[in-house]
Amino acid sequence: MSLSSKDRAFLLESIRNVPDFPKAGVQFKDITTIVGNPKAFKTIIDHLADRYKNAKIDYVVGAEARGFLFGAPLSIALGAGFAPIRKPGKLPYTTASEKYALEYGFDEVQIHIDAFSAIKDARALFIDDLIATGGTAEASIRLIERIGAKCVEAAFVVNLFALKGDERIKKLTNFYSILDVDGD
């Protein structure tokens, strides 16, 4: 199922633009207005569920925290498990970690080491709300693969294509975004 131009326009209009957040010069794309609108939220989940219904997804993997908003309902719609990827110190069991570079320093993501142990050769779908430069997504995909699942695709509600994070991800796995925006 592809989105109609009417649904695409509706979803784009549902995103709140917040100027100068978190710092001057950044035009933040706030998706809380999408999840706060039942019609917009349902449109996204229904679209993604239709896209992946025959993909044999065993786990949906969501990145903290907004990836959880889309990943959890999508996992239910697909009859798949959900695995959270979080910042260090947030998961209660033994974790695997992956560091990634930021503009000034490093950050890290973690997942439980047994997140995919229930299914041999698990197929995972990574999801997040937005991709900008792709650092978090790239680290998350590497982490998924390192602990034993195959990341069959990385999906995003919004792709800020001018920042070229999608190009990084396409080197690792298949890439999909619902809405491509230039960041303005």
pTM: 0.95
**Is the per-residue pLDDT at 1 higher than 90?**
no
pLDDT score at 136: 96
Domains and CATH numbers, the chain: 55-181 (3.40.50.2020)
**Catalytic residue positions?**
66, 103
pLDDT averaged over every residue in the chain: 95
DSSP of 126-148, one letter per residue?
A: EEEEEESS-HHHHHHHHHHHHTT
As a whole-number percent, the residues of the chain with pLDDT over 90 amount to 90
Write the pLDDT tens digit of every residue in 75-122: 999 999 999 999 999 999 999 999 998 777 899 999 999 999 999 999
Has residue 59 got a pLDDT over 90? yes
Using CA atoms, how far apart are residues 55 and 107, in angstroms rounded to an integer? 31
Query: Does the pLDDT at position 25 exceed 90?
Result: no
Query: Looking at beta carbons, which pairs linking 115-122 to residues 24 or more positions away fall under 8 Å?
Result: 115/59, 115/61, 115/83, 115/147, 115/149, 116/58, 116/59, 116/83, 116/144, 116/147, 116/148, 116/149, 117/148, 118/81, 119/58, 119/59, 119/81, 121/150, 122/58, 122/59, 122/148, 122/149, 122/150
* Torsion angle defined by CA atoms of residues 121, 170, 46 and 126, in that order, rounded to the nearest 10 degrees: 40
The answer to whether residue 135 scores a pLDDT higher than 70 is yes
> Is the predicted pLDDT of residue 28 greater than 80, yes or no?
yes
pLDDT of residue 181: 94
User: pLDDT at position 60, please?
Assistant: 98
**The pLDDT value given to residue 184:** 57
pLDDT for res 29: 93
Peptide linkage before 139 cis (omega within 30 of 0): no
Residues in the chain: 184
Overall average pLDDT of the 9-21 stretch: 95
| Residue 183 in this model has a pLDDT that exceeds 70 | no
